[in-house]
């Protein structure tokens, strides 16, 4: 019964994540969701900006702190190891949901594209970016990344082992294609408002800081394999002419 409850918990956490992820697309495009990034009652910049920055910081702190090995060790004292990843995913998703609910719009227009072709191009890049996010997660291990594999193995009584250390597909050209996809999705809009710009700058800053901690943990965990991979492959800007050539090294996503 305990294992079944754990697996049900993992499924529930994954469902919350997936809903928050899909909502993010609607939030950024102001389409098909109750409240987009430019929706709701606007407030003065001096009121809205500190609230929005605090919401971004809440997500960033949660995401970074819970991803650190020291926090995982403390969490393992009160939760089964198989539930650690699902709990992280749930907390990150809830932080995003809080951001959606409490976000204060700043509707002042920074740039706007009038051309239909230009607008469609921006939307194509946005959707392509989020497509890269999903594709990248499957190129490593989507269900491990979001905690379902751990709870499934616990349910069937099999030991958990980290996915094999390897570089495949997009990871041969860029170390963090998942984050690259997020950046494309966050920044690509034909109508950039001040609030959207604040969100994009804040999230980009968080990713830039967070990836430093992530790579430090990866070097500690993977050793010379990851250091070699890091020397050969750029962080965010793909190097198409010279991909990573060996099967060693894997850009494991731990945050």
How many structural domains are present in the chain?
1
Is residue 219 within 8 A of residue 227, CB to CB? The reply is: yes
CA pair distance 197, 48, nearest whole angstrom: 13
* Residue 253 confidence (pLDDT): 36
- Which run of H or of E encompasses 50? helix 45-67
Across the chain, the runs of DSSP E, i.e. the strands, are 109-112, 191-193
pLDDT band at 246 (very low <50, low <70, confident <90, very high): low
* Residue 130 scores a pLDDT above 50: yes
For residue 108, being part of any structural domain is answered with: yes
* Residue 111 confidence (pLDDT): 96
* Residue 52 confidence (pLDDT): 98
The two structure tokens encoding residue 73: 């060790």
* Residue 109 scores a pLDDT above 80: yes
For residue 247, being part of any structural domain is answered with: no
Domain of residue 44: give its range.
Answer: 2-232
* Residue 247 scores a pLDDT above 60: no
CA pair distance 145, 152, nearest whole angstrom: 13
119-130: average pLDDT: 98
For residue 193, being part of any structural domain is answered with: yes
pTM (two decimals): 0.92
- Which run of H or of E encompasses 112? strand 109-112
* Residue 16 scores a pLDDT above 50: yes
For residue 237, being part of any structural domain is answered with: no
CA pair distance 183, 199, nearest whole angstrom: 11
CA pair distance 88, 14, nearest whole angstrom: 11
* Residue 53 scores a pLDDT above 50: yes
Is residue 100 within 8 A of residue 16, CB to CB? The reply is: no
Query: To 5 degrees, how large is the angle CA 207–CA 209–CA 215?
Result: 90
* Residue 103 scores a pLDDT above 60: yes
Q: Look up tokens 């082992």; give the residue.
A: 161
Share of the chain above pLDDT 90, in %: 79
Q: Look up tokens 């990034």; give the residue.
A: 37
64-80: average pLDDT: 89
For residue 250, being part of any structural domain is answered with: no
For residue 115, being part of any structural domain is answered with: yes
For residue 241, being part of any structural domain is answered with: no
* Residue 254 confidence (pLDDT): 37
pLDDT band at 165 (very low <50, low <70, confident <90, very high): confident
* Residue 164 scores a pLDDT above 90: no
* Residue 252 scores a pLDDT above 90: no
- Which run of H or of E encompasses 207? helix 194-222
For residue 90, being part of any structural domain is answered with: yes
Q: 214-227, pLDDT tens digit by residue?
A: 999 999 888 998 99
């Amino acid at each position: 019964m305990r294992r079944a409850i754990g697996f049900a918990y993992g499924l529930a956490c994954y469902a919350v994540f997936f809903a928050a992820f899909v909502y993010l697309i609607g939030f950024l495009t102001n389409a098909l969701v109750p409240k987009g990034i430019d929706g709701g009652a606007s407030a003065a910049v001096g009121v809205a900006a500190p609230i929005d920055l605090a919401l971004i910081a809440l997500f960033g702190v949660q995401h970074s702190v819970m991803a650190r090995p020291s926090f995982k060790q403390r969490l393992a004292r009160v939760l089964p190891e198989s539930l650690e990843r699902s709990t992280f995913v749930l907390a990150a998703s809830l932080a995003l949901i809080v951001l959606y609910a409490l976000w204060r719009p700043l509707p002042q227009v920074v740039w706007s594209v009038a051309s239909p072709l230009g607008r469609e191009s921006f939307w194509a890049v946005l959707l392509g970016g989020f497509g890269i996010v999903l594709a990248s997660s499957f190129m490593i291990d989507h269900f491990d990344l979001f905690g379902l594999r751990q709870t499934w193995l616990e349910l069937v009584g099999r030991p958990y082992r980290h996915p094999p250390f390897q570089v495949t597909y997009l990871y041969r050209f860029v170390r963090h294609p998942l984050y690259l996809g997020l950046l494309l999705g966050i920044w690509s809009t034909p109508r950039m408002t001040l609030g959207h710009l604040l969100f994009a700058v804040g999230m980009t800053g968080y990713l830039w800081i967070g990836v430093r901690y992530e790579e430090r943990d990866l070097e500690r965990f993977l050793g010379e394999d990851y250091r070699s991979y890091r020397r050969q492959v750029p962080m965010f800007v793909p190097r198409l002419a010279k991909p990573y050539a060996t099967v060693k090294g894997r850009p494991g996503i731990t945050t």
